[in-house]
C-alpha cells in the first residue's frame, strides 16, 4: 500500500476538528453566525506535520457537538447532541 492509500485509509489515521454548537431559545441546535470554518473552508483532507516538519495530508472529519449546562448542576456540562461528518460532505451540500 503506497503512502497516498495509507493516508486515505480511515482505519489508519484521520483528522477530526470539533465544532461547538449552541441551542436556540426554542431548543433546536443552531449557530447564529453560521458555520465557523476558522477562515478555512471545510475540506475532506487535513494537513498535519511530523516532528521533522514533513507535511502529510490525511482524511478530515468534523465533529459537531452541542454542550449545555446541566440545569440541576450549573458546574456540570452535558453533551446533548453530536454528529460526525466527512469534511467532503460539507463541500458537496452547502445546505447541510
Pick left, alpha or beta for residue 39 (phi over 0 → left; psi -120 to 50 → alpha; otherwise beta). left
6: CB partners within 8 A, 6+ apart = 12, 13
82: CB partners within 8 A, 6+ apart = 63, 64, 65, 66
User: How much is the pLDDT for 7?
Assistant: 85
User: How much is the pLDDT for 14?
Assistant: 93
For 23, 56, 80, 92, the CA distances from 44, given in Å and listed in that order, are 26, 13, 26, 10
Alpha helices, H only, 1-96: 3-8, 87-92
User: How much is the pLDDT for 32?
Assistant: 55
- What phi, psi does 5 have (nearest 5°)? -65, -40
User: How much is the pLDDT for 16?
Assistant: 92
Range of the domain at 13: 3-92
pLDDT tens for each residue of 53-92: 999 999 999 898 888 888 888 888 888 889 999 988 877 7
3-state SS assignment for residue 89: helix
How many separate domains does the chain show?
A: 1
Q: Is the pTM of this model over 0.95?
A: no
User: How much is the pLDDT for 1?
Assistant: 78
pLDDT tens for each residue of 16-51: 988 888 776 676 766 555 555 554 667 888 899 989
Amino acid at each position: 500500500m503506497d503512502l497516498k492509500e495509507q493516508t486515505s485509509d480511515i482505519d489508519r489515521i484521520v483528522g477530526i476538528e470539533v465544532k461547538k454548537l449552541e441551542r436556540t431559545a426554542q431548543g433546536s441546535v443552531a449557530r447564529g453566525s453560521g458555520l465557523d470554518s476558522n477562515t478555512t473552508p471545510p475540506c475532506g483532507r487535513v494537513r498535519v506535520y511530523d516532528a521533522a516538519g514533513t507535511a502529510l495530508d490525511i482524511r478530515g472529519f468534523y465533529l459537531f457537538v452541542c454542550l449545555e449546562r446541566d440545569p440541576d448542576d450549573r458546574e456540570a456540562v452535558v453533551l446533548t447532541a453530536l454528529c460526525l461528518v466527512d469534511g467532503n460532505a460539507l463541500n458537496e451540500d452547502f445546505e447541510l
